[in-house]
Structure 1
Amino acid sequence: MSRRTWSRPQDAVRQGREATLAQIIETIDRTAPATKARLATEVGISEQYLSELLQELKRDDVVRKAYVVDDDAVYANASAVSRLHEGCRRGDADGRGNPISETAPSEYRGTDVLELLNRLDEVTSTQYAAARRSFVGDEPDRPAAALESLANERYSAVLSELKSYTLTTEWPGNRVASDLATIATNLEIVGDRACFVADVVDSQDVTATGVVEERVCDIFDAGERINEYFESILFECDLAAYDDLIAREETVHRDLDELFELVTAYDPEMYGSLVTVTRALERSIYYWVHAAELAVRLHSGVQPDHAMI
């Protein structure tokens, strides 16, 4: 994936101090300005104000000499620079006590979208857990397929809110909305993959046992843990969880390699069934990882390392 960032509207007064800090970080990361004057021009603020803000960023080790952004420090300060993690919703009051209207700019509507995404994630992760129970022979409280209509309903609710989000904000709100829509689509695909796994388990007259079953369950477990990291990143603005997500993703690669070596010893029917299930799990995990990658960029303006799966 190419390294891409987006720039905020050049209106530091309207956006506020924290948004200007985020804009400085993004501008440095995107353009690598050679001088302070060039950086001030790019951001659209005075050199004096820029110097004040740079002192703060350097004190927190977010920006080093030569105007280089330290990704780790940005992640550690994510809640201060995030365009979504504002803690405000329509109907709440802004910093001056004024009510936030239905046509408020995007920085006041981010939490609405996050709440809807959280509701979508709840049902699709439940579908994933139901698929796991089906694989090991347990009867889930609600099968993955039984939750599909609810998942579709919540997915549609996210897209509807994002349409309003796009119409009521200046550029680059459309790009923010596009990334959020991709996250929603990724979650919806996870739910679809869970239904597919459950269908395969129900339709195949073969059952994995012993070490093979254990290894497949390990992959299910890794997927659930990666989903938890994704949730921490998007909904709690905990970008430090991204490193843990990548580390867990690396173990999934090893587990998959070992699993495919094991299943080659089975008859073709068993092999085909297991490959179908594990490939579906692999794609589910990929979509969670990719969603986490987008969440990191949305919160920090910094593009994280490429997703491996």
Structure 2
Amino acid sequence: MSRRTWQRPLGAGGRDATRAQVVEAIDRTAPETKEELACTVGISEQYLSELLQELKAADVVRKGYVVDDSALYDNSRHISKLYGSNTSVAEIVSNEEIDDHGTEVLELLDRLESVTTRQYDAARAAFLGESVEHSAKTLESLTNERYSAVLAELKSYTLTTDWPGNRVAADLSTIATNLEIVGDRACFIADVADREGTDANGTVGERMADIFASGARINEYFSRILFDCDLAVHRQLRDEEETVHRDLDELFELVTAYDPDMYGHLVTVTRALERAIYYWVDAAELAVQIHSGLQPDHVEI
């Protein structure tokens, strides 16, 4: 999974801010000695020793100056307003105690997910020869607009949040990017279907319809994990992912029975579909980590 580096905001003070600087320095520079770490942070070794004792007691830092990612997320409750929530987006938005930026990020991500889902449905309809009110390409400008809005809010979120909150912001940025890529892959599938035409009849068409349906279910599971903190469905998502894996393998074997032109066309579409589903699964993995502090098994597609 990709991680973006988000700079720590200026102006923070106090012991808590210094502790955050220590963890940040360890995470970014991997110092070999206490002297090197103290110099990087700009504090005395004695003061550093006191802070390290607190961080080790909280299991945030292990021996050898290594940051424990699980504990890091666990201690980001006051930063990540998504963390540990078992409420829906609507309930979160109505909670006055929730930070304005956290609420706005959730709302914007929800809006982005809704339009990329419409693009995916439009791509499925294009391949299966069904009519659709708005094509995936027509919706692309709306996707780009909502994607830009998420990134702009995350930038503001980062500038007003102490590290390691920027770790959470980086994960949310990756989730937004994954959704934008899903929309992009949907446009590609629809373009290929319109340009080349498809034969959605017979066994191949049925298999493709099944894979599209599995992708839609994976997107639903991802949304429940991110917006509703329904971590229990992660197991169902993994089961669905295994089903998609098997269906794709069987489809590749099946299409070899066609002539080279038809085979190439189907490979192009199925590869784009495969990548769209991958980015939903990857986003779900990040959402699990944001909420639980635990990193699930990596995606398989």
User: What's the TM-score, normalizing by structure 1?
Assistant: 0.70
What's the counterpart of residue 136 of structure 2?
A: 144
TM superposition shift of 1:43: 6.6
Indicate how the Cα distance of structure 1 residues 235 and 205 shifts in structure 2: closer, same or farther if over 3 A, else same: closer
Given that 1:132 and 1:220 are in contact with CA atoms closer than 8 Å, whether structure 2 keeps it comes out as yes
Residue 55 of structure 2 aligns with an amino acid whose one-letter code is E
For residues 81-130 of structure 1, the C-alpha deviation after alignment (integer angstroms, 9 at most, x for no partner) is 974155656x9643xxxxx8xxxxxx553222111001000000110001
Distance 1:13 1:134 in 2: 54
Distance 2:166 2:153 in 1: 12
Distance 1:175 1:81 in 2: 10
- The aligned runs of 1:1-309 (5 Å cut-off) are 41-42=54-55, 83-85=81-83, 93-94=96-97, 109-309=101-301
Q: The residue matched to 1:139 in structure 2 has which SS?
A: coil
For residues 184-226 of structure 1, the C-alpha deviation after alignment (integer angstroms, 9 at most, x for no partner) is 0000000000000000001004424200000011110000000
Q: Report sequence identity in percent.
A: 63
Distance 1:279 1:263 in 2: 13
Given that 1:83 and 1:299 are in contact with CA atoms closer than 8 Å, whether structure 2 keeps it comes out as no
What's the counterpart of residue 57 of structure 1?
A: none
Given that 2:101 and 2:153 are in contact with CA atoms closer than 8 Å, whether structure 1 keeps it comes out as no
Residue 84 of structure 1 aligns with an amino acid whose one-letter code is L
Indicate how the Cα distance of structure 1 residues 130 and 93 shifts in structure 2: closer, same or farther if over 3 A, else same: closer
Residue 108 of structure 2 aligns with an amino acid whose one-letter code is L
For residues 25-84 of structure 1, the C-alpha deviation after alignment (integer angstroms, 9 at most, x for no partner) is xxxxxxxxxxxxx99832777xxxx9xxxxxxxxxxxxxxxxxxxx9xxxxxxx999741
Distance 1:197 1:12 in 2: 53
Name whichever of 111-120 and 206-215 sits farther off.
206-215
Indicate how the Cα distance of structure 1 residues 165 and 81 shifts in structure 2: closer, same or farther if over 3 A, else same: closer
For structure 1, which runs of at least 5 residues remain unmatched after alignment?
Answer: 3-8, 15-37, 51-70, 72-78, 95-99, 101-106
Indicate how the Cα distance of structure 1 residues 81 and 219 shifts in structure 2: closer, same or farther if over 3 A, else same: farther
For residues 241-283 of structure 1, the C-alpha deviation after alignment (integer angstroms, 9 at most, x for no partner) is 1111001000111100110111000111111111011000100
Given that 1:155 and 1:184 are in contact with CA atoms closer than 8 Å, whether structure 2 keeps it comes out as yes
User: What's the TM-score, normalizing by structure 2?
Assistant: 0.72
Given that 2:204 and 2:251 are in contact with CA atoms closer than 8 Å, whether structure 1 keeps it comes out as yes
What's the counterpart of residue 68 of structure 1?
A: none
RMSD: 3.4
Given that 2:225 and 2:284 are in contact with CA atoms closer than 8 Å, whether structure 1 keeps it comes out as yes
How many aligned residue pairs are there? 242
For structure 2, which runs of at least 5 residues remain unmatched after alignment?
Answer: 3-11, 18-50, 60-69, 71-76, 86-90
What's the counterpart of residue 24 of structure 2?
A: none
Distance 2:241 2:78 in 1: 28
Residue 307 of structure 1 aligns with an amino acid whose one-letter code is V
What's the counterpart of residue 28 of structure 1?
A: none
Higher relative contact order (CA 8 A, sep 6+): 2
Distance 1:244 1:233 in 2: 11
Given that 1:119 and 1:154 are in contact with CA atoms closer than 8 Å, whether structure 2 keeps it comes out as yes
4+ aligned runs moved over 3 Å, structure 1: 11-14, 79-83, 85-89, 91-94
Given that 2:79 and 2:161 are in contact with CA atoms closer than 8 Å, whether structure 1 keeps it comes out as no
Residue 220 of structure 2 aligns with an amino acid whose one-letter code is E
Indicate how the Cα distance of structure 1 residues 243 and 257 shifts in structure 2: closer, same or farther if over 3 A, else same: same
Indicate how the Cα distance of structure 1 residues 254 and 12 shifts in structure 2: closer, same or farther if over 3 A, else same: farther
Residue 42 of structure 1 aligns with an amino acid whose one-letter code is L
Residue 41 of structure 1 aligns with an amino acid whose one-letter code is E
